Amino acid sequence: MEPQNLTGVPEFLLFGLSEDPELQPLLFGLFLSMYLITVTGNLLIILAVTSDSHLHTPMYFFLSNLSLADIGFISTTVPKMLVNIQTQSKSITYGGCLIQMSFFYVFTCLDDLLLAVMAYDRFVAICHPLHYTVIMNPRLCGLLILVSFFISLLPSFSNYLLSTQYMEPQNLTGVSEFLLLGLSEDPELQPLLFGLFLSMYLITVTGNLLIILAVTSDSHLHTPMYFFLSNLSLADIGFISTTVPKMLVNIQTQSKLIAYRGCLIQMTFFYVFACLDDLLLTVMAYDRFVAICHPLHYTAIMNPRLCGLLILVSFFISLLVFQVHISMVSQLTFCTDMEVPHFFCEPPRLFSLACSDSSIYIILMYCIGAIFGGVPVSGILFSYSRIVCSILRVSSSGGKYKAFSTCASHLSVICLFYGTGLGVYLSSAVSSSPRKCAVSSVMYTVVTPMVNPFIYSLRNRDIKRALWRLLSRTA
């Protein structure tokens, strides 16, 4: 990064479609008519769908949401243009420009996603007509709308954050690298730490790779539950690989340096895989909920297309979350203190090193964390509350044990992942020692990915058999 001088501006000038004064009344009448026709037409569609019970179907539900998005889409641009023509003004404030751009991104992305959802709805209706009402149930329709809206907010938010760094006049001095202080600076402990974390890393990668190989090689495990488990194992390998290898290299070379770009890349993959773990655990809870509470419709609901869609949506949301965090960190100004009291580039530690005001970004970071922690946890709690109610209604003790055993491994992993992660962030809020927080974070960044394969293999007979078959073939 190079030192740079930036100067902010209070407003912009919108030149419009034409500067010819004679064309302004024509343009005003034309765009006013188009705007009124658009709003009236889409409002009529919304009113028709909501008032007629015969139109209370997924197709028209998506259509009414598309009409609402279209009203918002055209309202972000045309009214301002009409006001400028009427007042013979071309100016728009910087804040107004950012707001207009934010809503433009929201409604553009929402339109795009709703059209994709409507295509999927037509695909199910035509290609799977007998299962249409089961697959396109109200819960799934509402979920698709919420996910579409939430995904639409993230790129808008990212662009807003990237743009606000140019709002005020400022002088920024860039930095080229950071120092990762690690878990301890005691030279005598470095060989011990190297051997310990190398062993943990190899165990984690080997254990999760065995789970993936067992699931892919055994046809008996080609089910949604094990499909999600293999993706969770893949995410765990990526999760631990973002932090431990760099720490091992630093210990071995007796260097603490990490380049600025390397820090951003590490943080990028950390957020991608952490969020992916979070969402996959939620998806797996939903899978268990359908399997226990709706066993007769399980194969129809958890079909391969839906399973693939859930994985893709989880990965896409993870990418958008990292984009938001990178947008926030890239706006920070770092001066002289480049020592990070951690073994990887964790955003809270970077925020504490910034010499510019980072309070708004810290608040936003915790808000995003609360959303991506609270929403999945709420989904998991809801799923398991319904699961427990269904298990309690089972008359035989054997049936109860069998139903509970299918969830025990997943529930153990959830408690470990959220328990350690929440414990670390709560302790960091009350503890004044960054080094203690760094040691505590080992639990969810290293220990959790390592023990996950053991939890699933030790408590699951199918995994044990598949691993035994796999090892027998290679022996």
In DSSP notation, 245-266 reads HHHHHHHHHT--EEEHHHHHHH
In the chain, the domains with their CATH numbers are 4-134 (1.20.1070.10), 181-474 (1.20.1070.10)
366 vs 308, higher pLDDT: 308
Query: How confident is the model at residue 237, as a pLDDT?
Result: 93
Q: Which helix (H) or strand (E) holds 12?
A: strand 11-13
pLDDT of residue 60: 92
pLDDT at residue 367 tops 70 = yes
Question: What pLDDT score was predicted for residue 434?
Answer: 64
DSSP class of residue 172 equals E
Q: How far is CA 373 from the centre of its chain?
A: 10
Q: How confident is the model at residue 301 (pLDDT cuts 50, 70, 90)?
A: confident
pLDDT > 90? residue 155:
no
Q: Give the DSSP H or E segment for 13.
A: strand 11-13
Q: Which residue has the tokens 């343009």?
A: 27
Cβ contacts of 420 within 8 Å, gap of 6 or more: 443, 444, 447, 448
* Tens digit of each residue's pLDDT (9 = 90 or more) over 424-471: 666 655 555 666 667 777 877 888 888 888 887 766 777 778 778 877
pLDDT class of 9 with cuts at 50, 70, 90: low
Give counts: helices (H), strands (E), the chain. Answer: 19, 7
3-state secondary structure of 334: coil
**Residue 131: pLDDT above 80?**
yes
117-122: average pLDDT: 92
Q: Please state the rounded mean pLDDT for residues 186-206.
A: 89
Pure H helices in 294-396? 298-301, 304-329, 347-353, 359-392
168 or 335, higher pLDDT: 335
Residue 198: pLDDT over 80: yes
| Sheet strands (E) in 132-249 | 170-172, 177-180
Phi, psi of 326 (to 5 degrees): -65, -35
- What's residue 441's pLDDT? 77
> What are the tokens at 305?
């297309």
Q: Which residues contact 135 (CB under 8 A, 6 or more apart)?
A: 124, 128, 300, 301, 303, 306
The pLDDT-based confidence of 37 (bands split at 50, 70, 90) is: very high
Give me the helices (H) in 76-137, please: 78-87, 94-127, 132-135
Q: What is the mean pLDDT of residues 2-11?
A: 49
- The per-residue pLDDT for 235 is 92
**What is the pLDDT, as a whole number, of residue 356?**
67
On the CB side of 80, CA atoms within 13 Å amount to 19
Contact 215, 425 (CB under 8 A): no
What one-character DSSP code corresponds to residue 179?
Answer: E
Q: Residue 105: pLDDT above 60?
A: yes
How far is residue 306's CA from residue 140's CA, in Å, rounded to a whole number?
A: 10
User: How does the average pLDDT of the chain come out, rounded?
Assistant: 79
Question: Is the pLDDT score of 47 beyond 80?
Answer: yes
Q: Is pLDDT above 70 for 41?
A: yes
Q: Does the structure show a pLDDT above 90 at 40?
A: yes
pLDDT band at 157 (very low <50, low <70, confident <90, very high): low
How confident is residue 135, by pLDDT bands cut at 50, 70 and 90?
Answer: confident
What is the phi/psi pair of residue 137, to 5°?
Answer: -80, 165
